[in-house]
Structure 1
């Protein structure tokens, strides 16, 4: 990474990624529809940043999260399957070593806790139905010594459902809202617990902790801190 930072020909806005398998196989693949693989990969990442739940994996962002105390960097994982190149989750780093992977279908929950999400679609598999949400979100992360209070405000509309439900009936819509809230809360907590087990913090709890509690070492307390939830609205 130091070499990238010192190279004047490489801008801070260049995208970084991790290859699943041999990177050479991805960079040298021959496809008549893709004339410049570098440009194709850049557009693929940019599309997922703009319309999906991928945090911008620029050199500047990675460097910031690498050096700041209390946050760990992430990079998208690029995978080639036959003739298709796609993103397959993100790698979470501890310093310069990848320690875990967040699957593609869990990126929504990672970004929901990490950064504002202006819009986007997410599919949730529920006991009642498989639904697709179009959502807007405002988040606020508070910490008063310990534990953390993580408040997530979510505004969403149902775009599609696999089962026929009468959402005009208050009892049905209220029950569905509650199920969605519980699903999102549970997924967030499962992800947080995985991060705690690996002692990595791509969300930035540690930097928030240090801002409020001076002189305390967050790393030693990370696995012990209970992160509270407030129902999503």
Structure 2
């Protein structure tokens, strides 16, 4: 079924491309859909590309090309020498960098991608735990084209509000803003599968820390509005009238969905750099792994209080992790710049001020309705 659909997509793509005014013939085009960048032992750049096979009758839907050079463009030019078709970037959907590459700095690469008029600003960027070359050469039984698997997984998790978005445009915007730093999803390959492991935190253009998937949820909770998000949170089960005789887990796991949120960050003190972060959160209680009477208003209020405390603690820990690493993914610097006139704030100046900042987190949490309880 997948192969049949893939051939239909390729056929449609052929029609679209062949109808363009550009005189290039299909036989001469190698469409790059995903590209990966690794740092080699001799400090060169290893570029690995996944090329879409336009021919619907081709034995494979995609092919892998790689080459290394001192620059990303130089490596791509060398890869051209190995390709029977002229490499084109107009269908690029995902650009990957290894952790080692990200730790050295990504702005030169990001600028290079942004200057290519053929590359969309909506191209996703992500960090690979390990080698991008090895990840792109993985085989998956359900997807003959690894690039489609990576793109679809990033796309659905971003649109499904599991992780923040990190398009080329968004990364460029965050980097060039004086008071905020970029974040990118982190992924790894495992037995042919692609797993999203969290988010990479950057200071300027260098990766300095990582957030796990739960922390990625709270990062998005602060930076954006949720409309349909979901998360599982674990809290102590004491105080909810749960019989001790019942064999049940030691902790209470609560699944929340249909999450809607709004966050607001304000500067309280410009001299001592103190911020207040307010988050209003409403949600539905979907599932609890304990036997408890959620119709009891007293217990429901206690559950709201416990969850509010846990969420507040998780956000405070994430803010502290980012501050210690020197990364500002929340944009506190931008709040400061907009609140204080005449600062002439630069990224360098802000990163010197940021470690001394303090943040008060306040969460207004409410369960609007309940769902299934086990």
Q: TM-score surpassing 0.5?
A: yes
- 3-state SS, counterpart of residue 356 of structure 2: coil
Q: Over residues 184-233 of structure 1, what are the superposed CA-to-partner deviations in whole Å (9 max), with x where a residue is unaligned?
A: 00000011111110111011111111110132654333222221122423
Match for residue 125 of structure 1? 234
The structure with higher relative contact order (CA 8 Å, sep 6+) is: 1
Rg bigger for which structure? Answer: 2
Give me the whole-angstrom Cα distance separating, in 2, the residues matched to 1:159 and 1:116: 20
Over the aligned positions, Cα root-mean-square deviation in angstroms equals: 1.4
* Higher relative strand content: 2
1:39-50 maps to which residues of 2 (within 5 A)? 39-50=148-159
Q: Over residues 151-191 of structure 1, what are the superposed CA-to-partner deviations in whole Å (9 max), with x where a residue is unaligned?
A: 10000121000101111112111111100000000000011
- 3-state SS, counterpart of residue 230 of structure 1: strand
Aligned residues: 233
Identify which of 203, 228, 231 aligns with 2:360: 228
Matched, 1:59 2:165: no
| 8 Å Cα contact 2:255-2:287 kept in structure 1 | yes
Structure-1-length-normalised TM-score: 0.95
Gaps of 5+ in 2: 1-109, 238-251, 366-374
1:116-155 maps to which residues of 2 (within 5 A)? 116-128=225-237, 129-134=252-257, 135-144=259-268, 145=270, 146-155=273-282
Matched, 1:174 2:301: yes
Name segments (4+ residues, structure 1) moved above 4 Å.
none
- Please say which of residues 37-46 and 136-145 is displaced more in the overlay: 136-145
Give me the whole-angstrom Cα distance separating, in 2, the residues matched to 1:164 and 1:3: 56
Match for residue 3 of structure 1? 112
Match for residue 212 of structure 2? 103
- Please say which of residues 90-99 and 69-78 is displaced more in the overlay: 90-99
Structure-2-length-normalised TM-score: 0.60
Counterparts in 2 of 1:96 and 1:226: CA distance versus 1, 3 Å: closer
Q: Over residues 54-112 of structure 1, what are the superposed CA-to-partner deviations in whole Å (9 max), with x where a residue is unaligned?
A: 11111000111111111100111110112221111111112221110001121111111
Match for residue 81 of structure 1? 190
